[in-house]
Amino acid sequence: MKLRTYGERGPTVILVHGGPGAPGSMAPIARELSDTFRVLEPWQRRSGGAPLTVARHVADLDELVRAQCPDERPAVVGSSWGAMLALAWAAAHPERAGRLVLIGCGTFDIASRHRLETTCDARIDADLARELATLPSRIPDEDERLAKIGELVFPLYSYDPLGPCEHGPCDARGHRETWADMLRLQKEGVFPRAFERIDAPVLLLHGAHDPHPAREIRASLEAWLPQLEAVEWERCGHYPWLERFVREEFYATLRKWIGGADRHER
């Protein structure tokens, strides 16, 4: 994995990007936190060779934690798919997990995904639908096409963003392989049931304008994470660090949570 580091002092925070296959989006959070935290921003393994799986990403993240935080239980902050990966890793290695933050967490059941798709479909106008339909003929490279799709649908996921979402090179094959494996694990009943192994504090941060349905996602997690706490903001979409009306409150909430301590972490 490619690893970008920020800051030299303070507790360690690991930022887990979404996608799958869309690295770089967490860079603004890393820069913001680097004054008081040691921040690690790994870019997840790209596709190639054997198909990517959730287990492979979990093993990669655990290797990073063991190498970079041998005497520490780091806070892990995941966005979208990254929140799902953070949970999967913490369930596999609860003894190494510090405080968890789930930003715009992805879905763990069919009903939530249907609600997400219905909301997005309702926000797509005719012009955007035509542009999305012509992308395969205009952009033959699937990695570049995935990046363009992200750019085009960004407004559907945002309320009043201060700017675009940063990203590195996308990995369309990695996206397909990883998400297919997550869906398989959900169908087999592995997730979200496995999350009952997590004893770390968990905070869910969500925007009311995010097409990912906050109420349904929270309900799917609470049965297995009784310690789950949640904050939902109005006038906020999928990327609260970019939202004009909640950016400052988002960072204040995030800093307070990951900077906290309790008996579990001492």
Tens digits of residue pLDDT in 59-117: 999 999 999 999 999 999 999 999 999 999 999 999 999 999 999 999 999 999 999 99
**Within 20-171, where are the H helices?**
27-33, 54-68, 81-92, 110-123, 126-138, 142-153
**Phi, psi for 177 (deg, rounded to 5):** -65, -45
C-alpha count within 13 angstroms, C-beta hemisphere, residue 146: 17
| Backbone angle region of 184, left / alpha / beta, with phi > 0 → left and psi within -120 to 50 → alpha | alpha
What is the model's pLDDT at position 261?
Answer: 57
Nearest to 78 by CA among 203, 196, 220: 203
Cis amide leading into 51 (omega within 30): no
Nearest to 171 by CA among 40, 45, 31, 37: 45
Indicate the helix (H) or strand (E) that contains 252: helix 247-258
- Is it the case that residue 263 has pLDDT exceeding 70? no
Here the tokens at position 17 are 């990007």
**Which residue is it, tokens 């997590």?**
198
Tens digits of residue pLDDT in 104-155: 999 999 999 999 999 999 999 999 999 999 999 999 999 999 999 999 999 9
- Is it the case that residue 266 has pLDDT exceeding 60? no
- Give the DSSP letter string of 174-194: HHHHHHHHHHHHHHTT-TTGG
In one letter, which amino acid is 13? V
